[in-house]
Amino acid sequence: MNNNFSDFYKAIILDASLVDITRADKLLESMDLFEGEEKERLMSTIVDHLLRGYAYDRVIDLSSQYLPLTSHYQYHPEIYRYWIKALEKTNKWEEAIELRAMMNAELGYKYMFEDIARSYIEAGNWEKALIYYDKCLIEENGRLEVEDMEKIAKKYEDKGDYINSARYLLIAAKSECSDSAYLWQNTGRALALANQEDEAMQYFKIALILNPKSENTLYCMGQVYQNKGDQYRAMHYYTEVLKINPFNAAVNNNLGAMAFNEEGDIKGAIEKIESALEMTIDPQLKLTLHINLARLYHKISDYDKHNFHKMKISEAAGFIELMEESDDDDESEE
């Protein structure tokens, strides 16, 4: 790089009196004086400073002009990235993602589909993000981070697609090998939600081998046996949970349900569920407990307590709706 260019370049870049857009314009005025790598460096720097100066439309226009003129291994991808960022900043997400795909294909970047999936997440479009995460695993044999796979599994669960949720959790569990009891347990939980309980039990058993004192795994196994009508085994696993945590509200709720369904013991069921209500602060579980208590008190014609829990149901449901709206707001900002 010649001394004339170096001196000229440093003089403008280091001039603290210039704002970003003015600096970019001064560099732009001298474009025709240079060739080769020096010109490409100017191109990249101009677009960079326009981006910093929030001149997004100019970034888009100049990038489209300059990109075909650059070939240097550093400046060519840099202009691509500035162009993509300007498109994103102006909410032209589909154009940005299309350009990102073009860049990745041209430069031969590995895991192109994962990169596109992340772009769709930034655009707030998880539906398309999931499509490209699947492409990443299938077509690129991509190895996603465990944290990413857990997020993907949660999105599938939110859609009610428990099979795909379990698929990602299982991949994550296998990638973590022995240090992943909770992932094996969550794989089983997703399969249980998909009514594949026998297969779910296989993964719960692996989780228990890795962590015999896993409260959540023992609880899930109790739930599966309770759903199968095997109250003896369900009681065994719930008892194991209570040995670890006597204040497990979900177990006490299920024991109340068993007392009513299997023995017709309404008083015993109410005692268990009232105890569970005192143990939890979880709004979803509180809603379930108030629903159960309202039904039980109605059965014994205690209408004062029935109406009390009906009122609590309305309060709890309103709180959960507010929480969900807040979660949606947070997610859209990410």
> CA 333 to CA 33: how far, in whole Å?
44
One pLDDT digit (tens) per residue for the chain, 334 residues: 567 788 888 888 888 888 999 999 988 988 888 888 888 998 999 999 999 999 999 999 999 999 998 888 889 999 999 999 999 999 999 999 999 888 988 888 777 888 889 889 988 899 999 999 998 888 877 678 888 999 999 999 999 999 999 999 998 898 876 678 899 999 999 999 999 999 999 999 999 999 999 999 999 999 999 999 999 999 999 999 999 999 999 999 999 988 888 778 898 889 999 999 999 888 888 899 999 999 999 999 999 999 999 888 888 776 555 444 444 444 333 3
* CA angle 112–118–123, rounded 5-degree value: 125
Hey, is 72 helix, strand or coil?
Answer: coil
Query: What is the maximal distance between C-alpha atoms in the chain?
Result: 95
pTM listed for this prediction? 0.70
Residue found under tokens 């073009």: 102
| Structure token pair of residue 30 | 């001298």
Tokens 């959540």 sit on residue: 216
